[in-house]
Structure 1
């Protein structure tokens, strides 16, 4: 295991502590997460596996580069937004590895990734229909590279030696550093004083991997890239300086609902603690927040397969993402008065009120209320739209025939975005495939199963409503006929 011995010595010499009698490191196959930690002995719940001094985390807050560069110019060049600043710090530390505080740590980080960001076009085609490809954000990342990072590097040849640019500051290295952040970073906020003057953690934002506050507060991990350079637009309100590389903690793998250790942060250290007993030989798992396979593949380059019943393996956390524009398109095919142009004002209002333009459909769950409410919103008449505006609340999520009809058409259109059927995918999965294509197939199959099940449920509900309406119409007709017959009899 390259550089691991030197890394552990560096970690301990830098103030970190590790229970080397309780945990060790093993190289697992890529499909199982790669290098990870295992228990060398039985580990009880609540046992501290290792601690990391806050000063040993690598961020724009702990690297000296922003101060050396000049904080005012750093902000003027927008290096404090998203991940571009942290990527530049990591590049600079790597370029000066012999004098860098984090040299031995950086030497242990991967240089190759199995994430779709690095896939050839032929492999990416296997993800067609899934939202994974559009979330890669390669164009946004490269825009930051050319418009922010390179101009900053070229402006300071005393810091970034010209002959180093092609080696340490290339676009390829930029993507590698971004992928390291995407797959291994944590959110580590400043520790501040509360109103009483006592030390207390600030409100913890969600991060790529879980960091728990002391006590019962739990922070679930979500995607960093909303405010990052690798696949984000920099619009997230979280403080980019919180995004940190955390030596040792990032060596643990994760798997759906398998977590047995979690990182807690305190005033001066971060502490990895076992959250349940771990048997000798078992892998020590952190958590990524029980993500769907689409996100696991995009961020970490692997997928989770667990028994789902009926002989099917998959990820219980899989979701199907349905975009709002597809729903509007489906609605307009049923009602020409509904279109992106006519719906623009309503969409803007929906987003301003905190709504999203992507709806997540889950396994074994009905249509989400938020999607039902959105469909009502775009299909309202002008009077109904005026009432919604005056109340300042979206329509109630009430199921009716129109909602089901639009949802069914949306799901049918979504199904057409996949070039193959679920049955074809199941047959292809039985053949010899590369790891990339196999993982891609598992992702789209999970989405298609959700799509199939939700579509069947919506059709069943619509048929039930139509039968109910037909029954009511028949009764009304019978009552009308009966009333007419009685009227005739009375006239006689």
Structure 2
């Protein structure tokens, strides 16, 4: 049975989607050809976070819980901006590789006639994302010192600022018919980065392509991104040329939550990328990074190593600290 990792909401002031938003989204899913098994339901009650998938009947391993046609995905290739993004691909290259998707999201999140409006309405203004990048610097240092998260967030924020000012803003200025620096602000861009970080999927490369190809760009997968994560998950997303399918990996009992996996991630990585951590001892992938310099100091201070200190010091000189 998957461990239920409840994720406390730290900021109650964030706006929530209206009760009609989920119903509208599910109606949109049906219109787009998303097939949801009658044995499961999307719910905001009894789940680990804002949304989740619950079993309404017993499920066996191998059962398809839902399928999402590729035409429903939101990506740089399905966006109305796809031809323009392809044309200006060279100017949109970045270290993250996310700029084309982020520009698509900037456009769709503010377009009144967006094809994905019912989907995006589940996250009003994207202000309910509780990533550490939205905590104060003092709060990150006080609560997360020693985890590596504050340093990772500082790198993220610097990268976001640079990417927005050097790539995104110049692109928007060249296309004022599509973008407004006021409406498509740095703050919105930062929230969309967090949205992509927490909710996007990255299709794995084929084994023969792994050594030659760049990683696939991230893509938003409606419905699949509502599933919550635990290390001891009971479902997994499978890819085919026509659709993506969420499949039960083992029996799931009626009333239990269906959990996907976001990967083998330590708690500090989960907190950094998704804004939550699994309570001990649920995360079987949890780990802690220990700097080599710390190990050296501990080894040199240990009495049992007193006669070997010169040898240890010489050994650690060969390691890049």
Question: Following superposition of structure 1 onto structure 2, how do residues 57-456 of structure 1 map, counting pairs within 5 Å?
Answer: 57-67=73-83, 69=84, 71-78=86-93, 82-98=97-113, 100-109=114-123, 110-125=126-141, 126-136=143-153, 137-160=156-179, 162=180, 165-167=181-183, 169-188=184-203, 238-239=214-215, 242-257=217-232, 259-307=233-281, 315-323=283-291, 327=292, 330=293, 407-409=295-297, 412=298
Alpha-carbon shift at residue 61 of structure 1 (Å)? 1.7
Alpha-carbon shift at residue 37 of structure 1 (Å)? 1.1
Q: Is the 1:74–1:80 contact (alpha carbons within 8 Å) kept by the matching residues of 2?
A: no
Alpha-carbon shift at residue 10 of structure 1 (Å)? 0.5
CA distance in 2, matches of 1:280, 1:121: 43
CA distance in 1, matches of 2:62, 2:237: 11
- TM-score, length of structure 2 as denominator length: 0.79
Alpha-carbon shift at residue 148 of structure 1 (Å)? 0.6
Seen in structure 2, the aligned counterparts of structure 1 residues 408 and 74 have a Cα distance that, compared at 3 Å, is closer
Give unpaired runs (5+ residues) of structure 1: 191-200, 206-236, 308-313, 331-405, 413-454, 470-492
Give unpaired runs (5+ residues) of structure 2: 1-18, 312-321
SS of residue matched to 1:113? coil
- Aligned length, in residue pairs: 284
Q: Is the 2:267–2:277 contact (alpha carbons within 8 Å) kept by the matching residues of 1?
A: yes
* Aligned residues: CA RMSD: 2.8
Q: Is the 1:17–1:51 contact (alpha carbons within 8 Å) kept by the matching residues of 2?
A: yes
In structure 2, the partner of 1:7 is: 25
SS of residue matched to 2:252? coil
- Between Structure 1 and Structure 2, which shows a larger proportion of helix residues? 1
Alpha-carbon shift at residue 202 of structure 1 (Å)? 6.8
